[in-house]
A and B are shown apart, each in its own frame.
Chain A
Amino acid sequence: MIVAGIDVGSTATKGVLLHADGRILGRALVPTGANVVRAAERAFQEALRTAGIEDWEVCFIVGTGYGRYKVQFGHAQITEISCHAKGAQFLMPGTRTVLDIGGQDTKAIKVGEAGEVLDFCMNDKCAAGTGRFLEAAAGVLGLDLAEIGDVSLRSRDPLRVTNVCTVFVESEIVSHLAKGRKVEDILRGVHNAIAARSLALLRRVGYEPGLAFTGGVSRNRGMVRALEERLGSPVHASEDSPFMGAIGAALYARERAEHAAAPGKA
């Protein structure tokens, strides 16, 4: 039996195909763009292609993320909070808290032993501390979003970034550049600022070591390091981390499909 999870985020849409035995068969990541319905379809098709599977073989599909109701081929919709918790506990057993930093929002989730959500807290009101914040910083410095984390790790003398607002941080960076500050020191300051905001969010749900870092920003190694320094404990991130919402959705799809197939049901 094969199931799928589609996570339609504000910036990227992720698709994951999961075998009933827990193996991830295929995954895909496409930009969401303005046409959300099409992004969901493309992520699904792309995941099928990487797995070499045809769509009729997939028996249950769960949509998640802010655009989950735009997954027109989905059988059910589950919030991304539940999915991130589920996915993190599955791939990183022992997870107590999840930090999900996406393109436009940040969430702190306290997770139970079965991957259930005990508490959560989010910032979706403003771009501070989100992927958008990093994108703006990269843009001002003329760097690629994918490289700024590694650049920040070269810093020896991190600057203090005082602004919270993304718009104001752009001007702050420009003035640091005008003063001849090093790009890596500025970037380290930016990463540290996000780490500080993340910790504040984590504390609101009751932070405990055993942190799974998920969402698109978890690919950024500079961010992982900044968080570890700030928290004083290890942060778990892997190449699956950006797909955690979709993985969790696929796990829910597996449960639903098994439930439906159980004797005496359906």
Chain B
Amino acid sequence: MYHVAGVDVGSGTTKVVIMGEGRRVLGVSELRSGADLEAAAVEGLEKACRVARVDHARIAYVAATGYGRYQVGFRDVQITEITCHARGAHYLFPGTRCVLDVGAQCTRAINVDFHGRVRKFRSNDKCAAGAGRFLERVAKALEVDLEQLGELSLRSKEPQPISSVCAVLAESEVINHVSQERKTEDILNGVHRSIVDRLAALLRQVGLESEVTLTGGVARNIGIVRLLEARLERQVNVSSDAPLAGALGAAVLALERMRKLGAEGTHLYVREGQA
């Protein structure tokens, strides 16, 4: 019996999933990436192993993904986050045809086939527009907890429009609204709408199809989820594990690798020195 790990080192948080042979999730961890990405990956793996009650030495294969994937010293393979999010979304919702991954610094729309393979994708990693970092800054400016942001935005009765796409310029608009004594929930609703507009535009570029799955850290924001559903006029798949989708996909692909290597007769060792 062996286990694999999927390690997703994002710009905001590092996610690790330990998976058993039957694609069962045994343990997960999430922690802030910080400045030292390699340390974050090591710590994430240790944490997830503890949760899974799995000995390090029994991790037969490690697939790393995310923007810090090359910083994962103990990886066996690195896979782009696009491939991993597609597989992860498919793992969570097998009917997924479109994946929208909204992370701290990057947003991606991915069109996937029935097996969760990437058909087409578009991403924005050049600027903070529509990404989680923008929400973080707005939360700070309005002195609201990031976790409450979405819920609060849904209480709005009179949304205040945000016309700038740029996160920095939008922030000034937010501050202007504050100085005009607009309600926090109304400003937040406008902010969420502006992000949803960007996401919907990205999604259209890859071809909007029936089942949309939201992944990445911003999927935890209920305001984004509800407004996106209203914008797309359809239900959107969201799981509480949505932020783990990249790591889940990496783990699934690690298992596939293992199977392939096994079929080719490659001898697999349980690695030493990691106990």
Contacts and interface: CB of A to CB of B under 8 A. Distances in A.
Interface of A: 10, 34, 104, 125-128, 132, 136, 164-168, 175, 178
Shortest 10 CB-CB contacts between residues of A and residues of B: A167-B128, A165-B127, A126-B166, A127-B168, A34-B179, A166-B168, A167-B167, A127-B166, A165-B128, A127-B169
Given A34-B180, A167-B133, A132 B168 contact: yes
A242 B86 CA distance: 50
A104 B169 contact: yes
Given A168-B105, A168-B127, A175 B35 contact: yes
Contacts of B180: 34
22 contacts: A34-B179, A104-B169, A126-B129, A126-B166, A126-B168, A126-B169, A127-B166, A127-B168, A128-B166, A136-B168, A164-B126, A165-B127, A165-B129, A165-B167, A166-B166, A166-B167, A166-B168, A167-B127, A167-B134, A168-B105, A168-B128, A178-B35
A20 B105 CA distance: 54
Interface string B135-164: 001000000000000000000000000001
Given A34-B176, A175-B35, A164 B127 contact: yes
B176 A126 contact: no
A136 B129 CA distance: 16
Contacts of A126: 127, 129, 165-166, 168-169
A175 B105 CA distance: 15
Given A34-B179, A175-B35, A178-B35, A167 B137 contact: yes
B205 interface: no
A24 B97 CA distance: 65
Contacts of B127: 126, 128, 164-165, 167-168
Most buried by A among B105, B128, B134, B167: B128
Q: How large is the interface on B (under 10, 10 to 19, 20 to 34, 35 or more residues)?
A: 10 to 19
A104 B171 CA distance: 12
Contacts of B35: 175, 178
Contacts of B133: 167-168
A165 B134 contact: no
Nearest to B36: A178
A178 B34 CA distance: 12
A165 B126 contact: yes
A166 B169 CA distance: 10
Nearest to A165: B127
From A34, A132, A164, A167, name the one whose CB has the most chain B CB atoms within 10 angstroms.
A167
B172 interface: yes
Name the residue in A132, A165, A178 with the highest tally of chain B Cβ atoms < 10 Å from its Cβ: A165
A128 B169 CA distance: 10
Contacts of A136: 168
Contact of B169 (A34, A132, A175, A178): A132
B94 to A, nearest CB: 35
B137 A125 contact: no
Interface string B114-140: 000000000000111100011001000
A125 B165 contact: yes
Contacts of B176: 34
